[in-house]
Structure 1
Amino acid sequence: MKVLHVNAGLENGGGLTHIVNLLKEAKNEGKDFELLTLAEGPVATAARKAGITTHVLGAGSRYDLAALKRLRTFINDGHYQIVHTHGARANLFLSLIHTKIKAAWCITVHSDPYLDFEGRGLMGKIFTKLNLRALHKADCIFAVTKHFADLLEQKAKIDPAKVHVIYNGIFFHDDSEIPAKYDDQVYFNIVNVARTEKVKGQELLLKAIKKLDDSHVRLHIAGDGSQLENLKALTRQLELSPQVTFHGFMTQKQLRNLYRRMNLAVLTSYSESFPLVLLEASDNQLPILSTAIGDIKMMIPDQEHGFIAKIGDVDSIAAEIKRAVNMDPAALKAVALREKKYVAANFSVEKQLASIQKVYDKLAKH
């Protein structure tokens, strides 16, 4: 089966990891999967580095409709049986040519389509409508959480028969492959790996650290974005500068090294899908704490496996962090090891690909 995955190409976060991991696993299994990005960028670069067959369409912008003919020709001449898009821009391009291609069309919904363009005024409303229209036209949709599937079926009124819940996965490492931890007896180190955008809720995390009033707690924020300077200003306002380090964007190699010094990974988002960053932290033997976003209880089933705080609730976030800080180190490590064993058994990229392949096979028979 010949499959083409399509993405705008400018993603530099969980979406990039999702696409590259999936295609890398397909390559490992000898499947004929390829990637096409609409423009040169981080996705194509990461895919090439992973040895994935990668093409770039060369679309100049979201409005480069001249690229549609090239896209249609590329798909039909390539004899692909499945085209699988990721992201609103790729969805839009396929929606405009889907009746002129021979391949079946799938979409992965990585985030809430009603929030993707929030705060962008009239153009944001137009892009939201265009993306929802594309979702209706696709032959199948993969939702990365049940919450998103329910949203698509109940609010967007998409045929439930087209919607499939398939959770994200990552490549897990044997514990022997994980670098030894540094034993910091002085500080309790917390890491937050996320874009510095409002939806990620880092201002809640800073306020929770202030509420803890514990000088031995140190917070490390790894990520950049539109709110970075505002968060730095809030840190100064809260008089937390000695306790908070902003690392900016970090590569996977840099993150793995940072994880060696951390005691807890925290995500305080208002909205998420199924966060890969928490799976990656767990793979590195870190206990994880998240707000109750999406299907997080599938990832953290109970208090024996991690920590869950209320969304948007500083007091709840502070209380969960305090619970982790006050836990006996051996008990906290046991939480991390239980969680890794659980997520590795349930959310590997191998399982993710197998579930997607089953849907592909059904589509190819029609």
Structure 2
Amino acid sequence: MKKIIIRVESHSSSGVGGMESRIKEFTKVLENDYTFLTNSKFLYKSKFFGEKNIFSNYFSFVGILKDIFSFRNFDLIDSNGLRDNLISSLNFLLFWICYKVRKTEFFLTIHGNQGIEENKGIKKIVYDFLFKIGLLLSNKVVVVSEELKFYLIKKYSLNSKKIEIIPNFVKFQEKKFENKNNKSILVSRLDNHKSQGILKAIDFCLKNKLELDIYGSGSQLENLKEKFKTEEKINFLGFVKQEEIDYRKYNLIFAMGRALLEGISNGLIGILLGYDDLVCPISEQNYKKIKYSNFSGRGVEKQNIDLKNIGQNREEVFELVKNDFSLENLKDYYK
């Protein structure tokens, strides 16, 4: 059993998204001694990962010193979420130096490229430089999709042998079920950069007279609740742990990334929720392209969504996703 510290740099006011859910699920399966170092007060106070949590403000000088000098007795560090803050990047490099002195293995796990691409001007130049150093110094770079692997190779000239693709594995129900009701679910962080897509999903449900339960928290939660306070079929339920959602009540799920996989793994019809629009239902025909970009919608053609026709290949989509993303495969990747 290895003693591992996982650094979780959260970028959401809710503190919980696909990255955090992935870490929680994976560490339950892999038998190691984990400690979690996070900048999210929500994750820390709620003990989202369990009892062994440490809070650190990555964006302060005190936080940097705390990380470097307080937590050094580990076999491996896995850093998640490094993306768009210069102080955080500097913190990461100093943190790496501290562990390298002890010859500790260092993994850098990259969950997406959105934050990287948002940088501009001097910030982009400095960040790209620091980030490239981090990539080169890490023992292993873990990514969640083929798209992200080739992005890092092209943008940062990273050796492909150093990159390991470990998909967003999720639990699958042994018994598939199918609902014929008009109740749908949307699972997402309710942050500003996702609000347009969420609005399109709500509009779709209102036009088609579908009841919609929305799970998630974030900076736009109160604005959305105020906007749709008179709509009886639109329900904002806030943040709920994934394992506490009763998927049996629903027929459709609107989501992206890991949240969409979790819905499909519970037998729901999946509709890919983009950042600014609904993209398409998940089908056998578009599955390969959607899988390539980690169910983000990037590079996927928008399609009209016809409630009469979607879901006809639900069983086939379920089997495709189960074959590629079943949590049972996880230990083979980390052996």
Normalising by structure 1, report the TM-score: 0.69
* Match for residue 314 of structure 2 among 333, 336, 342: 336
Q: Which protein is richer in helix relative to its size?
A: 1
Return the offset for 1:12.
1.7
* Match for residue 12 of structure 1 among 2, 11, 16: 16
Match of residue 259 from structure 2: 277
Match of residue 364 from structure 1: none
| Structure 2 residue identity aligned to 1:74 | N
Q: Against the structure 1 CA distance between its residues 219 and 106, is the aligned structure 2 distance closer, same or farther, given a 3 Å change threshold?
A: same
Match of residue 361 from structure 1: none
Return the offset for 1:167.
0.9
What secondary structure, in the 3-state scheme, does the structure 1 residue paired with 2:79 have?
Answer: strand
RMSD: 4.0
Distance 2:149 2:185 in 1: 30
Report 1:276-295 matches (<5 A): 276-290=258-272
1:302 lines up with 2:306 in the alignment:
no
Match of residue 47 from structure 2: 45
Report 1:65-214 matches (<5 A): 65-71=64-70, 73-75=72-74, 80=75, 82-88=76-82, 89=88, 91-92=92-93, 94-112=95-113, 115=115, 118=118, 130-175=130-175, 184=181, 188-200=182-194, 202-207=195-200, 210=203, 214=207
Distance 2:78 2:296 in 1: 34
Q: Against the structure 1 CA distance between its residues 119 and 163, is the aligned structure 2 distance closer, same or farther, given a 3 Å change threshold?
A: closer
What secondary structure, in the 3-state scheme, does the structure 1 residue paired with 2:151 have?
Answer: helix
1:150-182 alpha-carbon deviations (Å, 9 max, x no partner): 111101222222112221101223217x7x95x
Distance 1:60 1:312 in 2: 32
Q: Against the structure 1 CA distance between its residues 92 and 250, is the aligned structure 2 distance closer, same or farther, given a 3 Å change threshold?
A: farther
1:260-302 alpha-carbon deviations (Å, 9 max, x no partner): 33221122x6xxxxx2211211122101121589xxxxx9562
Distance 2:126 2:59 in 1: 13
1:248 lines up with 2:241 in the alignment:
no
1:306-352 alpha-carbon deviations (Å, 9 max, x no partner): 99799599x946x22xx2x113xxx83x6333322332232122313
Q: Against the structure 1 CA distance between its residues 115 and 65, is the aligned structure 2 distance closer, same or farther, given a 3 Å change threshold?
A: closer
Return the offset for 1:217.
2.5
Q: Against the structure 1 CA distance between its residues 282 and 208, is the aligned structure 2 distance closer, same or farther, given a 3 Å change threshold?
A: closer
* Match for residue 62 of structure 1 among 56, 59, 64: 59
Match of residue 24 from structure 1: 28
1:28-87 alpha-carbon deviations (Å, 9 max, x no partner): xxxx342332467526823327xxxx353x534432222244356323xxxx1x322222
Identity of aligned residues (%): 19
Q: Against the structure 1 CA distance between its residues 292 and 165, is the aligned structure 2 distance closer, same or farther, given a 3 Å change threshold?
A: farther
Question: Residue 216 of structure 2 contacts residue 237 of structure 2 at CA under 8 Å; is this kept in 1?
Answer: yes
Distance 1:107 1:152 in 2: 12
Match of residue 220 from structure 2: 227
Match of residue 360 from structure 1: none
Question: Residue 265 of structure 1 contacts residue 288 of structure 1 at CA under 8 Å; is this kept in 2?
Answer: yes
Distance 1:204 1:354 in 2: 36
Return the offset for 1:142.
0.8
Question: Residue 172 of structure 1 contacts residue 283 of structure 1 at CA under 8 Å; is this kept in 2?
Answer: yes
Distance 1:8 1:106 in 2: 12
Return the offset for 1:138.
0.7
Return the offset for 1:115.
1.7
| Structure 2 residue identity aligned to 1:18 | R
| Structure 2 residue identity aligned to 1:86 | N
1:263 lines up with 2:251 in the alignment:
yes
| Structure 2 residue identity aligned to 1:285 | G
Return the offset for 1:23.
1.4
Question: Residue 289 of structure 1 contacts residue 306 of structure 1 at CA under 8 Å; is this kept in 2?
Answer: no
5+ long unaligned stretches in structure 1: 270-274, 294-298, 358-366
Question: Residue 310 of structure 1 contacts residue 316 of structure 1 at CA under 8 Å; is this kept in 2?
Answer: no
Distance 1:219 1:15 in 2: 24
What secondary structure, in the 3-state scheme, does the structure 2 residue paired with 1:4 have?
Answer: strand
Highest Rg: 1 or 2?
1
Distance 1:228 1:72 in 2: 36
What secondary structure, in the 3-state scheme, does the structure 2 residue paired with 1:338 have?
Answer: helix
Question: Residue 142 of structure 2 contacts residue 163 of structure 2 at CA under 8 Å; is this kept in 1?
Answer: yes
Q: How many residues align?
A: 310
What secondary structure, in the 3-state scheme, does the structure 1 residue paired with 2:64 have?
Answer: coil
| Structure 2 residue identity aligned to 1:12 | V
Match of residue 362 from structure 1: none
Distance 1:283 1:216 in 2: 25
What secondary structure, in the 3-state scheme, does the structure 1 residue paired with 2:141 have?
Answer: strand
What secondary structure, in the 3-state scheme, does the structure 2 residue paired with 1:191 have?
Answer: strand
What secondary structure, in the 3-state scheme, does the structure 2 residue paired with 1:260 have?
Answer: helix
